Amino acid sequence: MVSIGCAISEPGSTRKNKTGSWRTFKPILDKNACVDCNNCLMFCPEGCVNKDHDIDYDYCKGCGICKEECPVQAIKMEIE
Amino acid sequence: MAKEIMTTNRAVAEAVKLAKPQVVPVYPITPQTTISEYLAQFVADGDLDAEYIRVESEHSAISATLGASEAGVRVFTATSSQGLMLMHEILFAAAGMRAPIVMADANRAISAPLNIWNDQQDSIAQRDAGWIQLYVENAQEGFDTILQAYRIAEHEEVMLPVMVCLDGFILTHTVEPVDLLEQAEVDTFLEPYVPKFAYLDPERPMSLGNFADPTYYTEARHDMQVAMDKSMEVIKEVGAEFGEKFGREYGLTESYLCDDAEIILVCMGSMASTVRHVVDQLRAKGEKVGLLKIRSYRPFPFEEIDEITKNAEKLAVLDKNFSFGIGGALFADLKAKCHKETYGFILGLGGRDVIPEYIEEAVELTKNPVKEVTWLGLKEDE
């Protein structure tokens, strides 16, 4: 049940909107091949990669920029 | 109070004054202009304590009206024809944001060709915006309906904007006797607006007009359909209460001599007066005809129409609008939702007079049909 007119009275509720549902291709990181360059962390437009290079699939939209920017091809895009 | 002589535009403005909106953004357009002028005068004279915003376009007029409504106050605006077309985008936003706006639309033809005279194509073209649409027959109905419109729009199970449609010139510029109400009388019927749901309040911060992804959008739109269905009861309740208090009762429709009618003429707005006159004349000749006036076009009261027309053989639907390839909008709705042999007639476009002869012709062509949709009074090449 949505509120009348989709009004939102709770701050920060955008977090509930799991934009990961929009994803078609899922990035999979092979941590053994990773050289810790942090390119994926810096280039991810959604801030979905943390310092340990864990990917937050709740919000990753599958854009594939991390895969493009990885210098050692440690990230693969798999269809979901 | 004694009756006064005035146009429907004046009657609408008088009703708005009595409803006491706090913000009135209006942009003038023929034939609505005198509504904006009367309201400006009321505000200048101190008779209406409202913020009168002289906006730069109709898109701004409805945007400012929506913004003010979301700030939690009662609002009013008015427009016509091309102005309503310019409002199109915000009409959907106003309904989706569930703003209880009341707006008068002086029904006028749409360009091209450019035409300032009456038909109902402008409001019909906005029928899917999510607004309740009430069509009035005369100045008295215009006055009474504006007051009821606030009660309907602000009802907590409705919360939808209401468009009060009045035929341009035929009503807006024609003087008639109108029984005005005193402020004290209106105050017993229409209380000050107290917002309850979505409105801006620093004590209770809220985000309005939000983004809704596929998870929420369908439900938000469905909620509007539920409110629209509910509004049928509310329109009837409010109209009945108005009748109890002031002696003039209103509903979703108004029927005249329909019980034993073989052919029922169906129409909206000022045309109903002419049709009633023709029904009387044809009845005097022994013809069993009746009139069904649709006051509420959205919501569309098809169950009530089915009940009223249950004894009739055929319906003759008179439309001052046209949907290309289908016929009149009212005709198409009746074909879709009611279960009668139905014929459609297009007339009164761009200010062409709706004369009794056209209505008699519609009755004849319903008795002996040639085709489903007929344009009445169409001139051959000269």
ipTM, two decimals, is 0.73
Is the predicted pLDDT of residue A12 greater than 90, yes or no?
Answer: no
How far does A72 lie from chain B, in Å, by closest CA? 36
- Give the model's pLDDT for residue B198: 85
Q: What is the mean pLDDT of residues B137-149?
A: 98
By residue range, what is the domain housing residue B138? 3-246
- Give the model's pLDDT for residue B382: 63
Considering its fold, how many domains does chain A have in total? 1
- Identity of the residue in A1, A5, A17 whose CB atom sits nearest the CB atom of B213: A17
At residue A1 the predicted structure's pLDDT band, cuts being 50, 70 and 90, is: very low
A65 within a domain of the structure (yes/no): yes
pLDDT cut 90: percent of chain B above it: 94
- Give the model's pLDDT for residue B215: 84
How far does A23 lie from chain B, in Å, by closest CA? 14
pLDDT cut 90: percent of chain A above it: 74
Q: Quick one: B158 and B16 in the same domain?
A: yes
A20 within a domain of the structure (yes/no): no
Is the predicted pLDDT of residue B211 greater than 90, yes or no?
Answer: no
- Give the model's pLDDT for residue B103: 98
Task: Find out whether the peptide bond into B299 is cis, omega within 30 degrees of 0.
Answer: yes
Chain B interface residues facing chain A, Cβ-Cβ under 8 Å?
Answer: 96-99, 159, 197-198, 204-210, 212-213, 215-216, 219-220, 223
Model pLDDT for residues B306-316, shown as the tens digit of each residue:
999 999 999 99
* d(C-alpha B55, C-alpha B26), whole Å: 6
- Give the model's pLDDT for residue A15: 86
B381 within a domain of the structure (yes/no): no
Q: Quick one: B58 and B193 in the same domain?
A: yes
A22 within a domain of the structure (yes/no): no
What CATH number corresponds to the domain at position B348? Answer: 3.40.50.920
B251 within a domain of the structure (yes/no): no
| Domain-ending residue, one of B219, B246, B273 | B246
Half-sphere exposure of B218 (CA within 13 A, CB side): 2
Residues of B in contact with A3 (CB under 8 A): 197-198
Is the predicted pLDDT of residue B216 greater than 70, yes or no?
Answer: yes
- Give the model's pLDDT for residue B259: 97
Least confident window among A40-49, B181-190, B212-221:
B212-221
What CATH number corresponds to the domain at position A54? Answer: 3.30.70.20
Is the predicted pLDDT of residue B49 greater than 70, yes or no?
Answer: yes
What CATH number corresponds to the domain at position B81? Answer: 3.40.50.970
By residue range, what is the domain housing residue A33? 29-80
The structure tokens listed for B177 are 């006797």
Least confident window among A35-49, B18-32, B201-215:
B201-215
DSSP A43: H
| Domain-ending residue, one of B189, B222, B246 | B246
B326 within a domain of the structure (yes/no): yes
Q: If you count them, how many residues does chain A have?
A: 80
At residue B187 the predicted structure's pLDDT band, cuts being 50, 70 and 90, is: very high
Q: What is the mean pLDDT of residues B164-172?
A: 98
A69 within a domain of the structure (yes/no): yes
Mean of all residue pLDDT scores within chain B: 97
Is the predicted pLDDT of residue A16 greater than 90, yes or no?
Answer: no
Q: Which residues pair with B374 in a beta bridge?
A: B345
**What are the φ and ψ backbone dihedral angles of B49, each rounded to 5 degrees?**
-90, 80
Q: What is the mean pLDDT of residues B184-193?
A: 98
Considering its fold, how many domains does chain B have in total? 2
Q: What end-to-end distance do the CA atoms of chain B give, in Å? A: 53
Residue type, B244: E
Q: What is the mean pLDDT of residues B346-370?
A: 97
Is the predicted pLDDT of residue A2 greater than 80, yes or no?
Answer: no
